[in-house]
Structure 1
């Protein structure tokens, strides 16, 4: 089953930028399709392979921070080619 996942990592500490950058770099190094915008990062792929990968990357990121919020939205379809028609 293909999914689209929207992620927003929000470290609640002064050195937040490096944690966000490291998280996005780890996502980019995967075989999954990754798209970014100024507010969030989207990753696309097969649910059964994507979720264990994300679980590990989120754990690594959380272990390197004191306090962090991760907002995740999952859509059951691959939307990486979406283009607005308005």
Structure 2
């Protein structure tokens, strides 16, 4: 099943921009995902099993390296990539 996820990361740290950029760069390294970023949020698209596994791994790494974060996510069980609209 294809899913679309919209995420906004709010690191509660002084170097918050570096933390956000690093998280997005790591997501982009996974060929199973399509990652689109704008000034408000990051959208991730892919097979649900892949998306959930990768987000879990990347969130764990993020939470281990930066003690306090807020990650807001919205999930939909459709492929909402712009080229599929």
What is residue 57 of structure 2 aligned with on the other side?
56
What 5-or-longer segments of structure 2 have no aligned partner?
none
Give the deviation of 1:62 after TM superposition. 1.0
What is residue 77 of structure 1 aligned with on the other side?
78
**Structure 1 residue ranges, 4+ long, deviating more than 6 angstroms after superposition:** none
When the two structures are superposed, what TM-score results if normalisation uses the length of structure 2? 0.92
| Larger proportion of helix | 2
1-structure distance, mates of 2:12, 2:49: 30
Give the deviation of 1:50 after TM superposition. 1.2
RMSD across aligned positions (CA)? 1.5
When the two structures are superposed, what TM-score results if normalisation uses the length of structure 1? 0.91
